[in-house]
Structure 1
Amino acid sequence: MANKTLPADTPGTLQRGKACLRCRKRKMRCDGAKPACQQCSRAKKGDSCEYDDGKGKTRTQLLRETIVRLEHRVRELEDPDYISPAVTLHDPHLRGFSESPPSSSYDSTGHSPFPSESTHSPEESWSHLPSASPPLFSPDAFFQEPQLIQPPVDLAAMLLEIFSPHRHQCGLEVSMGRLRDSLNRPLSEQRHPAFMNAIFLWACFISRPEPLCQHEEHYLSLSLDGLRDGLREGDKTVDLVQASCLLSQYFLANGRYLEGSYHASAAAALAVQCGLHAGEMTIWPSVGDDSKPFKTDLRQGERILAFWQVYNLDRCWSVALRKPIVIPDGPQAWSSINCPWPMDISDYEAGQPSSGVNFQTIKSFFEGDVAVDGYSTPALRAKASALFERADTLSTSWNSRVEPSDSFRQEIHDLELTITAFVATLPSLHSLTSSEERPMLLTVHTLAHAALIHLYQPFAPDDPVSYDKCSRAARACGSIITHITDSDFAYLDPILGPCWTSAADTLVREMATISTSWPPMNAADVRNELGTILYAMANLASRFPLLGMSAAKIQKRLAEL
């Protein structure tokens, strides 16, 4: 009796190999119930409960084969000379993670859990990345919901290294050292997943056309999901503001204007709701007595920089997208921007005190305090954004059917003086070194001259003085381009696209009237200046698709002259 064994069909005992695929993969006890076992039913994965009895292919295997056939069919349709190779599929459930699948043309994508919009399989793989955990890109993972909201530490560190030199490009000012250190901390002490995955999204985006870019959709999905969860939980709100900014810049750079505009408005509204514009310690208390004077430690410094990040996005892209601004700056205390001008992140890391006072920051700037404080590169960028939006708002408020009033003319004149005084405070283009701040300063110079174009553009057709000022500003934008090296283009801000478009439009109109202008102008000189701007637009369009359509329209108008 002691040696008697239980029959194979005894309740509670399942014959080896008869468990469902999901339970076998997770090494869980399976009751073998069909159509869904108890484990899958409890996990609400009943639709994923499959059994492999060896008599046919599972739904997952059939789905894999369908995807492979569709991929090769797309390539055949795009390239008539392409010959679809024979594809060998394998059953991942019969192999351990340590084994390599059979070599095939599908190997490079078969190990990715990320849906790819690419119509070709990349030639490179991430399989060489060191990892103490099972490979992130196992074939099985493609058909499972993501188990990790962020990649392993070694992969996350690699993505941060890729992103780091490009952070100014999308307006993000953070302590990268602090960000890298947070990867090894407990999850509760890390930055919000929505923010981190937005950074990883940008790392993939700026790597185009390298194989890394095929994972953009994965990190985009994770960031959007994290943003939704974060808003529901009200957790780490500043991170959510910055995540929204990064997502907006990503969509805008790719020409997805509606999504970009939505996230820009959401980021601005959230920043105001959280009181980031107020710059008050009562909104973001630090350790200790809240009644103490305003401090600018690294933590508070990053919050100040976060506000100006969303401010730049709101002001600049409201002009480019022709939409109202979201962040108010009124006379009331609740609507006034009182956040101090930002300093460089290194100054906050060193514990330097904030320059200036945190009271009506923008209003004081427009009233004449152009050169009082705020000389850091982030501060210059914020001031350029303020001028750019203010010039467009002021000029477009004029009704062309009504003669401009004296007060309106005075406002135009005062703003021009403010822009001119601001440009005089900027570092000379000839003195710009090959530092990380160089692309941002090129953007600041361009925004300032583009502001003059927007300020006088409505009056240019009927006013020779305004026409001349527009032309001079457009040529100044072209002159700035001559200081941009080929290596700079990889780090330029996407907002330069709309600025260059305004400059090019001005010169195209000048070309259209060149035969009747007085004094006479050299058409060849104007074409050369236009060629410089179009070259820059085409170069940047290879990185940011948003410029492609604008450049094509200008080329068409130029060809019709």
Structure 2
Amino acid sequence: MQSSSTQPPLERGRACARCRRRKMRCDGQRPACGQCERADRAEDCEYQDGNSPTQNQLLEDQVADLERRIAHINAGRDPIVLHDPYHTWNAAQRSAQNDHDPMRALSVLSAQYPQLAPVLRLIDDSVRQFTQHATEFGFFLHIHRFLDKVFLQSNSTHSNSLRILLNVIYLIGAKLSGNPQVKAQERAYLDRALQHLPTALPEDPRGAIYVMQAEVLLANYFFDSDRKLEGVYHTNAAVSIAVASRLHTIRSARRSRSTTDAATYRLPPPVDLLEEGERINGFWTVFVLDRCWAVATGSAPAFTDSESAGTQIDTPWPMELATYQSHPFPNEFRSMRTVQSFISGAESDANVAHQSILAMHAKAAILYEGATRLASRYNPSSQATFLSLDNRIESFKRALPRIDPTRVDILRPALLVHTLSHCASIQLHAPLVQDRVTTNSRTYQAAHAAVRSLREIDGGVLFCVNPFAGILWSSIGRVILQGLSTARQMRAAGATVSQGLPDEGTLQAELARLTAAMGQSAPFSPFMSSQIRPLRPGRPAA
């Protein structure tokens, strides 16, 4: 290879995309130029030959196109001009800097500027509502560090991606608020977030995680609002960012040089262990969102986990965010085939109870989606595969820790994991049971176990739940209704308990408990309201 000092200069437009962006002298070597090789960025070295865009540009255009489609859906709405609240935080920065609660800035500003007090109270209500239910909408960042960054730093340092995410947080807070003045701002926050999403990524490479977080929150917001089309768009946008940022290969034991490697949206190295943890947890949050709602919408998951396509999932299972600092991964720790090892049973379930709630959630989602996919093409020749997955689900359920009703901080996510695991059994056995549900039916037993999880939980805790709980509870409700129908038919035919005759009183009580749980969040969730409607007394099974 010729040195850069003796090699003649390249023709104009022949430099690689990275050198052109950085205005560096490129030697034009293939597959990677000298500049990219020396910077250890060979995988980012792309050449735009002719008029064809690079793989990197194609991915960014795909994400931008998804956002434009969402904006088009909302194009018919009248724009709402909203007072920009961000400049007010800088005035309180010095007073709140040493306080552990960044929201203290609100009270300081209210005292200094009484005329701002009404606006600040609205912001305070919105943010506090969100922080209480952030997990249910897929918030994976360290919330206290995020709020410190937003509210205790100068407004001039806020990137567009950070502003977008904060508007989405205000949006969800307004949705959950019981204050009519706060709820009145919901539409405005949504418009502001959607307006700037298409241009957020090119501006701030590190902010890709903020944009992905905003996409996750928006997806759950739209699903909860019974707007599945928009929810799917934002889910796909989050997946696109995760794959383009290669979050599926964090701490991978392999160094792939496939063509897919060039199609990356390069994130800067994490600034510390906590930021790496946020990226790991962010990936698995998007993974769960994709797997679960693919089942609900009857589509294939966007995450393919294919080694041949370069989309294999090697990222280690997520931990609680605090654990990344207190018990971090060793520097040399690497992982490989995370999902495939779990499905095959190569990974033992012995340590499940000691893993994070998010790790349990991801594993339950894998089993749930896998059970649905296998059931959709079930035939007698697949009996061995069926039994293997059935055993895998049962082993995982046995390893789950019991729900502790005193752990209010993780009660709703823990309930969701147990419910999702039981619904994996329902999905897998549905083709065998069809409409005849007896006490011996595996779907009946799984539904019974899922409702039993609700017995010791205070209904008020379920005021806000993950939107996907509506899908799961609706599925359980249909099994109960099928059981009631079976009981009436069997009773009319003279069947006895020994023949699997379901107890109608028990089923009615379980249906009442289930609909009561769903009814807690239905007033605030159009989607839950639509799911509970077919389960009300007097309605036939779906």
Fold in common (TM above 0.5): yes
Counterpart for residue 226 of structure 1: 196
* Matched-pair contact (CA < 8 Å) for 2:460–2:520: no
In the TM superposition, residue 558 of structure 1 has moved relative to its aligned partner by 3.5
Please say if 1:484 is aligned against 2:431.
Answer: no
Confirm or deny that 1:549 pairs with 2:523: no
Residue 377 of structure 1 corresponds to 357
Conserved in 2, the CA contact under 8 Å of 1:278 and 1:334?
A: no
The residue matched to 1:341 in structure 2 has which SS? coil
Selected match of 1:240 from 199, 206, 211: 211
Q: Amino acid of the residue matched to residue 191 of structure 2?
A: S
Which range moved further: 156-165 or 461-470? 461-470
Partner of 2:137: 170
TM superposition shift of 1:452: 0.6
1:433 aligns with 2:406: yes
Distance of 1:504 and 1:307 partners within structure 2: 31
Aligned equivalent of 2:385: 411
Letter in 1 for 2:360: L
Distance change >3 Å, CA 466–CA 241, structure 1 → 2: farther
1:393 aligns to 2:387 (yes or no): no
Q: Give the Cα separation in 2 of the matches to 1:135 and 1:419.
A: 58
Q: Classify 1:410/1:559 alpha carbon distance in 2 versus 1 (closer, same or farther; 3 Å).
A: closer
Alignment of 1:161-560 (within 5 A): 161-183=128-150, 184-186=152-154, 187-188=156-157, 192-208=162-178, 210-231=180-201, 233=203, 235=205, 236-280=207-251, 284-286=267-269, 297-332=273-308, 334-350=310-326, 352-353=328-329, 357-368=334-345, 369-371=347-349, 375-398=355-378, 403-405=379-381, 408-429=382-403, 431-461=404-434, 468-517=441-490, 518-555=499-536, 558=539
Structure with a larger share of its residues in helix: 2
Tell me how far apart the structure 2 counterparts of residues 467 and 329 of structure 1 sit (CA, whole Å): 36
Task: State the alpha-carbon separation in 2 of the partners of residues 135 and 387 from structure 1.
Answer: 54
User: Any idea what the Cα deviations from partners look like across 1:316-359, whole Å, max 9, x if unmatched?
Assistant: 11112222211111233711111110110111243622797421
Alignment size in residue pairs: 414
Contact in 2 for aligned 1:279/1:339 (Cα 8 Å): yes
CA–CA distance in structure 2, aligned partners of residues 340 and 466 of structure 1: 40
Q: Which of the pair has more CA radius of gyration? A: 1
Residue identity opposite 2:213 in structure 1: Q
Q: CA deviation at 1:228?
A: 1.6
Work out whether residues 251 and 334 of structure 2, in 8 Å CA contact, stay in contact via their aligned partners in 1: no
Determine the C-alpha separation between the residues in 1 that align with 2:141 and 2:414.
18
- C-alpha contact (below 8 Å) 1:264/1:314 kept by paired residues: yes
- CA drift of 1:194 comes to 1.6
> Is the partner of 1:538 in helix, strand or coil?
helix
Rate the CA distance shift 1:317–1:557 in 2: closer, same or farther, 3 A.
Answer: farther
* TM-score (ref. length: structure 2): 0.69
Distance in 2, Cα, partners of 1:452 & 1:557: 27
Question: 1:9-158 maps to which residues of 2 (within 5 A)?
Answer: 130=110
1:147 corresponds to which residue?
none
Q: Quick one: structure 1 residues 231 and 529, their matched pair in 2 at CA, closer, same or farther if it must change by over 3 Å?
A: same
**Structure 2 residue runs without a partner (length 5+):** 1-79, 85-105, 256-265, 491-498
Structure 1's 232 and 211: CA in aligned 2 closer, same or farther, altered over 3 A?
same
Q: Given that residues 319 and 359 in structure 2 are in contact (C-alpha distance below 8 angstroms), is that contact kept between their aligned partners in structure 1?
A: yes
Answer yes or no: is the 8 Å Cα contact 2:200–2:211 preserved in 1.
yes
* Amino acid corresponding to residue 343 of structure 2 in structure 1: F
- Shift of the 543–280 alpha-carbon distance from structure 1 to 2, 3 Å rule, reads same
SS in 2 for 1:481: coil
- The answer to whether the 8 A contact 1:157-1:180 is kept is no
Q: 1:135 to 1:386 in 2, by over 3 A?
A: farther
In 2 relative to 1, CA 287–310 (structure 1 residues): closer, same or farther, beyond 3 Å? closer
Q: CA deviation at 1:113?
A: 5.6
Change beyond 3 A, Cα 1:410–1:131: farther
Q: Deviations over 1:247-292 (max 9, x none)?
A: 010011111111111111221122112211111589544379xxxx
Structure 1, unmatched stretches of 5+, are 1-109, 115-125, 139-150, 289-295
Give the letter aligned to residue 381 of structure 1: H
Distance 1:499 1:318 in 2: 13
